[in-house]
Chain A
């Protein structure tokens, strides 16, 4: 968990599927409905078209993702993105990490946080709030059964409310989901 991530990057990666995506022009009505909402409201890409093979789950998952990562109020978006990066690093998902590291840097102008995580691993020294978020996220992603109330102490010491902690939990859970789709259904390729 503390090893440097040599294949992780703040640069642009794309994702190439291992399963033939649904042909957008030949999509069924149910598939078209499921594709109307996309994660992060991005244009429909290969990822969504692969998931459209099972439109029932896709139609729920995209709005769930958007509600967890973009929902108004609560934990600042940058902290949710940092939770996503830490989870992706635990799981070794370089594609998700690159996308969400970029969003974190856009929101915070703190590229050094990402550079340190990639160079030194999840134990890298960071400012206290960032460190509390990264360590909680990494532990929850890695070994959920080991979580106990003492894991809340560093977050509460940084002033996080229970509602904000729940937002972070849901971001970590969402990337425990997203990483596994990205990693099992295709692979990152250099843009």
Chain B
């Protein structure tokens, strides 16, 4: 199986070139590299966004990166958000408590983002019912849950790569 030659999102986030030793170590599992990049594209730049916009997706990613104190990932999602939300309307809400958000749909989304990141075991059926009632389609609910879960994945992978690359 050939090695994917191009720099991918994880290389970008770790600040590595595709031929760096740690980047090469990742490429010993080409299927992981390929489907991780594919997941990023399916989650942040889907063909059909199911009504959950690119700006909203970037804002959700940013909120998780901030909450989990991953500065590089925060910079990444902040740049992506700026690209899709040039007037900064959503960026302001990223730092707000969900209870202070007026729009019930966006409030329900941010509650889901926070709950699933910090305390996944507190998720309940009524939260899903609330997302559906606020106007999200089943597809958008799944896309949102995949997004939150994926960014939580990213933060763990990046933490692992950070310490593996930090050899004394």
Identify the A interface with B (CB < 8 A). Answer: 18-20, 50-51, 53-54, 56-57, 59-61, 63-64, 66-68, 71, 74, 91-93, 140-141, 144-145, 147-149, 151-152, 162-163, 165-167, 169-170, 172-174, 176-181, 183-185, 187
- Do the beta carbons of B29 and A149 come within 8 Å of each other? no
Tell me how far the C-beta of A48 lies from the nearest C-beta in chain B, rounded to whole angstroms.
Answer: 11
Q: How far is the CA of A145 from the CA of B156 in the complex (A)?
A: 9
CB contacts (< 8 Å) of A176 on chain B: these are 149, 152-153, 155-156
Given contacts A145-B159, A162-B164, contact A60 B39 (CB under 8 A): yes
Identify the B interface with A (CB < 8 A). Answer: 25-26, 28-29, 31-32, 35-36, 38-39, 41-43, 46-48, 50, 68-70, 112, 115-116, 120-121, 123, 125, 127-129, 132, 137-139, 141-143, 145-146, 148-150, 152-164, 166-168
Q: List 29 A-B contacts (CB under 8 A).
A: A18-B129, A54-B142, A56-B42, A56-B46, A56-B47, A60-B39, A64-B31, A64-B32, A71-B31, A93-B121, A144-B68, A144-B70, A149-B166, A152-B163, A165-B164, A166-B160, A166-B161, A166-B164, A169-B159, A169-B161, A169-B164, A170-B157, A170-B160, A176-B149, A177-B152, A180-B148, A184-B115, A184-B148, A185-B141
